[in-house]
Amino acid sequence: MRVPLSSSISIYLFGFIESPSPSTRSLAGGLYPRQIRSPGICSCLEQTEVSLKHDPYWCWQKNTNEPQWMDCCKEPDFCNKDIVFGYAQAQEEEKWPEQMSIITALCVMIVLLAVAGALIFYGRRKRNSGARQILPEDSVCGASYPILNGHTTIQDFIEMTTSGSGSAGLPLLVQRSIARQIQLVEVIGKGRFGEVWRGRWRGENVAVKIFSSREECSWFREAEIYQTIMLRHENILGFIAADNKDNGTWTQLWLVTDYHENGSLFDFLTARYVDPDTMLEMAYSIATGLAHLHMDIVGTRGKPAIAHRDLKSKNILVKSNLTCCIGDLGLAVRHIVATDTVDIPSTHRVGTKRYMAPEVLDETINLYQFDSFKRADVYALGLVLWEIARRCNVDGIYDEYQLPFYDVVQPDPTIEEMRRVVCEDQQRPSIPSRWVACSTLNAISKVMKECWYQHPAARLSALRIKKTLANLR
């Protein structure tokens, strides 16, 4: 066949071939020996089929169903007369590079993903171990802060933080160091935000509230409130440390406080009754704690007023001398004196439904006035006093422990249920007739009634309650 193409180019085509056998793949530096099945068509191309007619080395492969191979030569005529069929790199090479490039791309992607994953993992580990290295157990901090030097007790520690500049809590690095020396012993409770553990720090018990990672805001807020300047008080749960420990996979959020083996007031009253004097001391200590919380102390070393917003028997702890302290400050708000507002945007309803004041339940509370929150706290205090009074043993007679409104709402009441009982029906816990016969119980029942007036402004202040109870002791 003679197909003159251009002055110097002839192209011949021929059909062929089979896939390379695996055993021959590595031969010829990437050229695969092909077994030619049939030479098929073998001809020089028409000139029109040459894609780049002016370039003697660029040829165009005809797109037919037959596998083809083409080559270029510079012989003008009979270009294909001396063709020797042998090793070829035709049809399979057409598919092979395509498959190869997909496989290579996939491999590269997998390797890149693996490398990226490994980098992230080791990066986090390194960062984490770096954080730990800030505070090797007895390093810089131990030298700078005597509290970490081995013989300090929690009591010393508390004194250090209540005197001088430490009144807003220990330096953060010291808190972290203490938290990391704690061994957790047992779970002692579970609340909305996580678990509470008994832990040991240098042979002494501490309580560790462990927040889940998604409760980081609650953890932060509670730690922040506890570290409000001048907050420390014998009737406010003693704050020791806050720590966020990143273990590489998740963040553990710890809040370390004094441990009280009697547990919460709810735990205590469920298990034990009290005599009138103990009842009074308990009531007085809670009122004192609340009065301290509510108090604005002006001056450079002053304290802002704080409203608790979740006062209830489960958030009050009973100390070993049977006086109480108020804990769980995570929902508290602080008073900004200059604007007479609260320090964080407040939502209508926070806290525990059972203890919500009528104005919280029906959302008539004035959220822009700080006093509103104090009055709602006083309402809840009235319910707590009622819980204690029921357990007051006079001449061998006392009532079984019950939560407020136990007789009119379900165990986990809805807002609507509480609103109907407290706002519409204006019900309050009942005062047993036996209380009238006991002067202490009678006096305390008057106080509680003045705490839970429907009209918030009519309620007593925490300071007034404290003084009234002081006079009864």
Ligand X SMILES: Nc1ncnc2c1ncn2[C@@H]1O[C@H](COP(=O)(O)OP(=O)(O)OP(=O)(O)O)[C@@H](O)[C@H]1O
| 412 is annotated as an active-site residue | no
Side by side, the strands of the sheet bearing 183-191 are: 183-191, 194-201, 204-211, 251-258, 239-246
Cβ–Cβ under 8 Å, residues 322 and 281: yes
Select from 317-325, 327-335, 350-358, 388-396 the region that touches Mg ion (CB under 5 A): 327-335
Contacts of 67 (CB under 8 A, 6+ apart): 15, 16, 17, 90, 91
Using CB under 5 A as the binding rule, the residues of this chain from 306 to 325 that contact Mg ion are 315
Site size with Mg ion, rule: CB under 5 A: 3
Nearest to 218 by CA among 331, 310, 305, 306: 331
Please spell the DSSP secondary structure of 305-355, one letter per residue: -EE-S--SGGGEEE-TTS-EEE---TT-EEEETTTTEESS---S--S-GGG
Task: List the one residue from 264, 278, 285, 445 that touches ligand X (CB under 6 A).
Answer: 264
Name the residue nearer to ligand X (CB basis): 73 or 322.
Answer: 322
- Residue 267 as a binder of ligand X (CB under 6 A): the answer is yes
- Residue 225 as a binder of ligand X (CB under 6 A): the answer is no
Largest CA distance in the chain: 132
- Residue 235 as a binder of ligand X (CB under 6 A): the answer is no
Cβ–Cβ under 8 Å, residues 147 and 160: yes
Partner whose binding site includes residue 371, from Mg ion, ligand X, none (CB under 5 to 8 Å by kind): none
Q: Is the bond into 17 cis (omega within 30 degrees of 0)?
A: yes
User: Residue 264 Cβ, how far from Mg ion at the closest point, in Å?
Assistant: 7
- Residue 259 as a binder of ligand X (CB under 6 A): the answer is yes
Interatomic CA distance for residues 211 and 26, integer angstroms: 61
Interatomic CA distance for residues 368 and 88, integer angstroms: 87
Catalytic residue among 310, 343, 395, 412: 310
Name the residue nearer to ligand X (CB basis): 7 or 320.
Answer: 320
Nearest to 229 by CA among 369, 323, 334, 102: 334
Task: List the one residue from 93, 243, 328, 377 that touches Mg ion (CB under 5 A).
Answer: 328
Task: List the one residue from 88, 90, 311, 317 that touches ligand X (CB under 6 A).
Answer: 317
Residue 74 is assigned to a ligand binding site:
no
- Residue 79 as a binder of ligand X (CB under 6 A): the answer is no
Select from 28-36, 191-199, 440-448, 453-461 the region that touches ligand X (CB under 6 A): 191-199
Residue numbers at the binding site for ligand X (CB under 6 A): 188-193, 196, 207, 209, 237, 257-260, 263-264, 267, 314-315, 317, 327-328, 352
Residues with catalytic function: 310
